[in-house]
Structure 1
Amino acid sequence: MSATETTTPPEVGLRVDVDGIGTNYHRAGDGPPLLLVHGSGPGVSAFANWRPVLPALAERFDVVAPDVVGFGYTDRPDGFPFTLDAWRGHLLGFLDALGLERVSVVGNSFGGALALSLAVHAPERVERLVLMGSAGVSFPITEGLDRVWGYEPSVAAMRDLLDLFAFDRSLATDELARMRHAASVRPGVQESFAAMFPAPRQEGVDRLATPEEQLRGIRHRTLLVHGRDDRVIPLESSLRLLRLVDDSRLHVFGRCGHWTQIEHADAFARLVTDFLGAP
């Protein structure tokens, strides 16, 4: 490779125009359509969030995983309102752009809040729900989530956050911290990130919450997944969703933090595949 050549980062996938927003996404597999919606950690992207489980899920499903506006390699239009309504509108536009009428949705953390919003406001577009360490209900903000949303870029700060995400600290390597830090300081990324959840960050939790009376109206079959040792989104949030969403069930992984899809990738992929494939 010459000095002028560059390699394309693995986070860069396909691209589609969504109402004027160039949207980066990954697609793999064949079968019933499955939308994966990532979380809100600094430097996150669809690829970073879902790479451990995407190949296994693609064995049974047509998997699509976009970078939500403000994250990854999707455009960041000036003045885009970082709100639940705007993010939901972008996801619906993304599905329209790909010609996907109805999908099952797997939402991680922040992505779980978006999945719940889709189920409430566009129920005809959603088949089944999988909510992993999900936001979407109000809870007193944890110290961990406050640290995540308050991230100030440095390799050391990113390493501290990785230790927070994972129960198994061996997963939080220096190499991964450097990679995620580099992603977090790409042009425009930190500016968008800082604008999404400014202090006081309890307001960010509340703005992602769907009113409980609307959650009680969800009729989609729903799987809740949570790490028992999650220090970012409390297990209580999934227990509350279990009480609110009528056709729901909960799987809790012990010795697991906020990274269920990474710390227990094989088991998580089997769990999701079995749930979505069950009659």
Structure 2
Amino acid sequence: MSAAARIPLVGAAVLGALAVLNGLAAKRAERRHPPQGRFVEVDGVRLHYTDRGEGPPVLLVHGNLVSGGDWDSSGVTAQLLQSGHRVIAFDRPGFGHSDRPRGKLWTSEAQAGLLFKATGQLGVERPVVVGHSWGAIVALAMALRHQADIAGAVLVSGYYFWTLRPDVLPVTLAAIPGLGDILRYTVSPLLGRLMLPLAKRAMFSPREVPERFSETYSDGMALRPSQLRATADDGALMIPGALEFRDELGSLATPTVILAGAEDKVVFSDMAERLHAALPHSILHVVRGAGHMVHYAVPRQLAATIAAVARSGALPEVTAQAA
């Protein structure tokens, strides 16, 4: 066999070996980070969630790259529990220990509908829904579609309007069926190992990555092929998600608090300012000295804002400032 003929065989062998190694690494990460909550099945989708405390309910929706446990790491969950709230946090479809079935386009509206049904199965009535980053689009969709059943919305560091983003093309390629599967099982986990440190620094900039995040965050869980698919799909749907509700924003009567980090390098704070201008029943807090991970910068203030909305069902007189 000629050298040229051997090249495809060698390439296929290397990709096959990478797929096996990455599959084993994913299994190892799941063993090291077993589910901490319970499971509920909604429309054939198995969702992992935690449900703690008693009192006015708060539904927490996480962003990309992380899972529902990110609210624990930030300290927001503990603050809400201390102030007497029932706190429910789901792993969104494909993240953490939740499934993400194929054959469905998991738009922000689709995820919002699924999580709303899940809260109903858990007996949750009129929660304050809180979303961070990609989760903020889900929270906004839920508030728009279920205004009578939502006590309020708190949107943190969300991407609400279409802009040119250089990060969309790579994730779109990774979301293509077939090609994306090959990448996720072979080279994407390796590239992710190199890029995750940079992504974390960008998320927390201008602050350092906090120890509590480093201690609880699992690169291995984030780089499993299943979660890489969810991350890529959501990244590819980011711009369509921002376009989905642009003509409906003025109809939102649900009290809405919008938070953004003044130094956010992932989603600029003027995005939040535009949303505030479009929502008649909203207030805006731009947190000085904070980046994209606002909930880590001001967990106590954020929890106090959420609690104020839950108590009154109205916009609070609370200002979040970075410590």
Residue 167 and residue 187 in structure 1: after superposition, are their counterparts in 2 closer, same or farther (change >3 A)?
A: closer
User: Normalising to structure 1: TM-score of the pair?
Assistant: 0.84
* Residue 46 (str. 1) matches residue 80 (str. 2): no
Deviations 1:53-96 (A, max 9, x none): 10111222111010111211111223232212321221122112
Task: Provide Cα deviations, 1:231-275, integer angstroms capped at 9, x if missing partner.
Answer: 111111110111111111111111110001112222322333234
Determine if the alignment matches structure 1 residue 244 to structure 2 residue 267. no
Preserved CA contact (<8 Å) 2:56 2:310:
no
Quick check: 1:127 aligned with 2:151? Answer: yes
Equivalent in the alignment of 2:161 = 137
Q: CA deviation at 1:115?
A: 1.2
CA 11–212 in structure 1, closer or farther in 2 if over 3 Å, else same: same
**Compared CA separation, residues 245 and 121, structure 1 to 2 (3 A):** same
1:191-248 CA distances to partner (integer Å, 9 max, x unpaired)? Answer: 33223334xxxx6323344433311010111111110001111111110111111111
Asked if 2 retains the 8 angstrom alpha-carbon contact of 1:23 and 1:73, the reply is yes
Shift of 1:179: 4.1
The aligned amino acid for 1:236 is D
Partner of 1:99: 123
Q: Equivalent residue for 2:110?
A: 86
**Which residue number in structure 1 is paired with residue 133 of structure 2?**
109
CA shift in 2, pair 1:148/1:270, >3 Å:
farther
Cα deviations across residues 29-55 of structure 1 (Å, max 9, x unaligned)?
A: 111111111112x2x100024432101
Pick which of 6-15 and 112-121 moved more. 6-15
Give the CA RMSD over aligned residues: 2.8
Classify 1:195/1:116 alpha carbon distance in 2 versus 1 (closer, same or farther; 3 Å). closer
1:184 equivalent among 218, 222, 239: 222
Alignment length, in residue pairs? 266
Quick check: 2:265–2:291 contact (8 Å CA) kept in 1?
yes
How do 1:189-208 and structure 2 match up within 5 A? 189-198=227-236, 204-208=238-242
Q: Compare the two structures and name the one with the higher helix fraction.
A: 2
1:158 Cα deviation from its structure 2 partner: 0.7
What is aligned with 1:256? 290
Tell me: CA distance 1:129–1:136, structure 2 relative to 1, closer, same or farther (3 Å): same
Q: Which residue of 1 aligns with 2:80?
A: 57
SS state of the match for residue 208, structure 2?
A: helix
Q: Percent identity?
A: 25
* 2:254 counterpart residue number: 220
Instruction: Pick which of 114-123 and 253-262 moved more.
Output: 114-123
Task: Give the conservation status (yes or no) of the 8 Å contact 2:109–2:142.
Answer: no
Structure 2 gap ranges (5+) = 1-29, 175-187, 315-323
What corresponds to 2:50 in structure 1? 26
- Of the structure 1 ranges 131-140 and 211-220, higher mean CA displacement relative to structure 2 is found in 131-140
**3-state secondary structure, aligned to 2:291:** coil
**Residue equivalent to 1:164:** 202
Q: Per the alignment, in what secondary structure is the counterpart of residue 213 of structure 1?
A: coil
Question: Which of the numbers 193, 212, 231 marks the counterpart of 2:265?
Answer: 231
2:231 aligns to what SS in structure 1? Answer: helix
* 2:69 partner SS: helix
Change (3 A) 1:116 1:171: same
Residue pair 2:57, 2:85 contacting (<8 A) in 1 also = yes
One-letter identity of the residue aligned with 2:277: R
- Measured in 2, the distance between the counterparts of 1:49 and 1:156 equals 25
CA distance in 1, matches of 2:102, 2:35: 22
